[in-house]
Each structure stands twice: as structure tokens, then as C-alpha cells.
Homo-oligomer: A and B are copies of this chain.
Amino acid sequence: MAHITTSVEYGIHCLLWLVGNDNRPVSSRDLAELQGVSPSFLAKIFPRLEKAGIVKASEGVRGGYLLARPADRISFLDVVDAIEGEKPLFDCQEVRGRCAVFGAQAPGWATAGTCAIHAVMLQAEKAMRDTLASQTLASVGERFMRKAPPAFADDVNGWISDRVSGRATRGGRPARDVPD
């Protein structure tokens, strides 16, 4: 699998729908159906975002999630680390200390400091993380909204409202607009 996982992808997609949605919590189930992904899988991702302080949860009926801070202060790196837990790009096996000419015990100069190869990998990882840190939910959300027609945001808000009120007034029958 790829280093940046599907969980992160789903998480960011969901968070983008929460941008500019400050007073109405949205449930992970609704977000899942809105995007056509697995509800139970999304339900595993959101608690991590909540623990990292990226979203706020409200429990009970009509509960759901809201962004915990403004979208321009939530970077892609925040989301990646929240979901994946700062997993390293490279896992140094410290091969340098095993050189046969050292015998049983490697000399100090060989194992002091960071392995030269590891240092390059850390530098590459930093470059990647710096890029992720430079992009926020606000900047990417805005870029997406410039592509979408003006009515799109309203359509989505309407879809979500329909689902919530549809459950309340029509006895739990989901309001789907996909015929079959």
C-alpha cells in the first residue's frame, strides 16, 4: 500500500465538507453516504481526528462532527499525523554497526550521530512534511470551490439537511436522489 493511506484520503475529503459548517454537526454516516465510502470504516477514522483536536464531536441524536478550529489552521500534515501517527518514511536498521571488519564491537566513530543514509532519508521526509504543512483545508477547499458551479455548495447543504430532516419527519427513510 501507499505510504499515505486511504484513511487519510477519506479523512481529508470529509473535513473539506465540514469547512464553513460551523453550527450544524454532521454525522460520520452522512459523510460516508455523501461520498460513497464505507460508513463503518469512516467511523474508525473520526475518533483519531477528535483526539488530535482537529474536530469536535457531539454525541447523541443529531450529534456529529464540527471542525475544532478554523480551516486555515488545519494543515494536511495535521491530518496525516492525526490519522497515521507520525510513521517514519524510512526505518534505519543500523547496518553500519554490523561491518565485519569491526569484529564483535563497532568503534564509536562508526555509530556516533545519525547514519549518513538515514540522514538523507530524514531530509527527504522533512521536504515531504514541509509541503504537507504548507497546505490547509481552507486553501484546498477554496481551490475546489473555484472549479464547482456556484450552486454546488447549496446543493450539498441541501442534501445533508434533507437526510437529517428526512429521518426526523419521514420515519427514518433516507432521502436518496439516486434512482434504481
Interface residues of A, Cβ cutoff 8 Å to B: 1-4, 6, 9-10, 12-13, 16, 33-37, 76, 87-93, 95-96, 98-101, 103-104, 109-110, 112-113, 116-117, 120-121, 123-125, 127-132, 135, 140, 143-144, 147-149, 152, 155-156, 159, 176-179
A–B complex contacts, Cβ < 8 Å, 20 sampled:
A1-B91, A3-B90, A9-B95, A10-B95, A13-B117, A16-B117, A34-B101, A35-B98, A76-B120, A76-B124, A101-B156, A101-B159, A103-B178, A109-B148, A109-B149, A113-B147, A120-B131, A124-B132, A127-B127, A128-B128
| Minimum CB distance partner of A158 in chain B | B101
Q: Could you tell me if A2 and B87 are in contact, using CB atoms closer than 8 angstroms?
A: yes
Q: Could you tell me if A155 and B2 are in contact, using CB atoms closer than 8 angstroms?
A: no
Q: Could you tell me if A117 and B3 are in contact, using CB atoms closer than 8 angstroms?
A: no
| Minimum CB distance partner of A144 in chain B | B116
Copies of this chain present in the complex amount to 2
Most chain B CB inside 10 Å of its own CB: which residue of A113, A121, A178: A121
Q: Could you tell me if A89 and B4 are in contact, using CB atoms closer than 8 angstroms?
A: yes
* Interface residues of chain A: helix, strand, loop or mixed (majority): helix
A4: B residues at CB distance < 8 A: 89-90, 121
Q: Could you tell me if A88 and B2 are in contact, using CB atoms closer than 8 angstroms?
A: yes
| Minimum CB distance partner of A163 in chain B | B100
Q: Could you tell me if B127 and A130 are in contact, using CB atoms closer than 8 angstroms?
A: yes
| Minimum CB distance partner of A130 in chain B | B127
Kindly state the separation between the CA atoms of A16 and B96 in the bound complex, as whole angstroms: 11
Q: Could you tell me if A131 and B127 are in contact, using CB atoms closer than 8 angstroms?
A: yes
